[in-house]
Amino acid sequence: MNRTFVHEDLNAVIRQHSERLANQLHSQRESLFPPDAEKAMRKFTSGEAAALLGVNDSYLRKLNLDGKGPSPELTAGNRRLYSAQDIQALRVLLEKTARKPGDYVPGRREGDHLQVIGVMNFKGGSGKTTTSAHLAQRLALRGYRVLGIDLDPQASFTALHGVQPELDLEDGGTLYDAIRYEDPEPIRQVIRKTYIPNLDLIPGNLELMEFEHDTPRALAQGNAGLFFFRVKEALAQVDQDYDLVVIDCPPQLGFLTMSALSAATGVLVTIHPEMLDVMSMSQFLRMTADLMDVIAESGADMSHDWMRYVLTRYEPQDAPQNRIVAFLRTMYGEAVLNSPMLKSTAISDAGLTKQTLYEVERSAFTRSTYDRALESLNTLNDEIADLIQKTWGRP
């Protein structure tokens, strides 16, 4: 019996699968977030609002009774719920009578420089985007003015913030528009407001790969100039608008990553504490150092305020992981952040609906699982916030 085997062009198969997946993702988004609705941040309990503001719940209740600040939503059980906008309004109100400047609005003061944090690793599964998204959202909720930039063409950071790259960015709108060599746009043209106060977004998509293709051509023609300064120069246009920038870098050491490194004042390297990941990181660090040497020889100042390692997807009960964590801490000391990001089904399950743990309702999870994951994220992100404050010369 003869069988005829039909060969298909690989590019046609891949394109077909890509379009099918994009359509399914669009359908999923429309079922979760109807076309006439925008993604919104959940409401916070009075206890959560008080913790974000650094006050007691009873003090928030007194403010409400005295008619000061926004009025919270009251549930059937007489519980008070605050929106993220309410919390920001309370923050501004409390800052007016604060004992010292920055108690409630902790961002930059005169003389403080913009903090640009590059989050990077070139191995998939290291938790880079999860780290970037939770850091940007937590610091925005704590009162910092944050710009999140998705520099990864895979655009997971973008999708987490309610933008579907294949459909919402057909006519551009990524950082590429502001850093391209021909007719770049002002960076403000590609900044979007998000549903979280204090957090703006520059989304990403496959268009970012154009920078990787354009740069060699521009270098060959002598038109690239100091190409690695293009991100830094674009950010200079909005320097006074933000306290910090969080850049989710691509998972490879290309021209985009080199430009992000040149713009960064602080670098976070995510590490999953498994031996294969640590071996991969060794190569990543060596290649990064070699690239930065090349950039430095071209005249760039590669000094940074800080570089730290973030332990991600950490399982405290895993003995081999604990040995690797001890090994890293012995080798790098305080360069490894004290607070790891725990591996948690709560974080991964939130991602299934394109949300961070800060966006999902606690009731959607086992309480202990949610609380444990949330405490892990808060402790980690607050440690980074403390690092930023020290960089600005504040304890």
- Give tens-digit pLDDT for 144-185: 999 999 999 999 999 999 888 877 877 789 999 999 999 999
Interval 298-327 mean pLDDT: 89
Quote the tokens at residue 227: 């190409």
Is the pLDDT score of 124 beyond 50? yes
Classify the C-alpha dihedral 47-51-53-55 as positive or negative. Answer: positive
| pLDDT of 34 | 53
- What CATH architecture does domain 115-392 belong to? 3-Layer(aba) Sandwich (3.40)
Q: Which distant-in-sequence residues (6+ apart) come within 8 Å of 92 by Cβ?
A: 104, 105
Is the pLDDT score of 15 beyond 90? no
Is the pLDDT score of 192 beyond 90? yes
CATH 3.40.50.300 residue spans of the chain: 115-392
pLDDT tens-digit readout, 31-73:
655 544 568 899 999 999 999 999 999 999 999 889 898 999 9
Confidence band, pLDDT 50/70/90 cuts, at residue 13: low
Q: Residue 136: which H helix or E strand, with range? A: helix 128-141
How far apart are alpha carbons 75 and 56 in whole angstroms?
20
CATH 1.10.1660.10 residue spans of the chain: 44-96
Indicate the length of the chain as a whole number: 395
Confidence band, pLDDT 50/70/90 cuts, at residue 5: low
Instruction: Please give the mean pLDDT across all residues of the chain.
Output: 88
Question: How many CA atoms lie less than 13 Å away from 70 in the CB half-sphere?
Answer: 18
> Which of 7-11, 281-285, 323-327, 375-379 comes out lowest in average pLDDT?
7-11
Q: Residue 246: which H helix or E strand, with range? A: strand 244-248
Is the pLDDT score of 142 beyond 70? yes
Percent of the chain with pLDDT over 70: 90
> Which of 34-43, 152-161, 272-281, 334-343 comes out lowest in average pLDDT?
34-43
| pLDDT of 168 | 80
Confidence band, pLDDT 50/70/90 cuts, at residue 373: very high
Confidence band, pLDDT 50/70/90 cuts, at residue 28: low
How far apart are alpha carbons 171 and 203 in whole angstroms?
12
CATH of segment(s) 44-96: 1.10.1660.10
> Which of 14-23, 76-85, 272-281, 351-360 comes out lowest in average pLDDT?
14-23
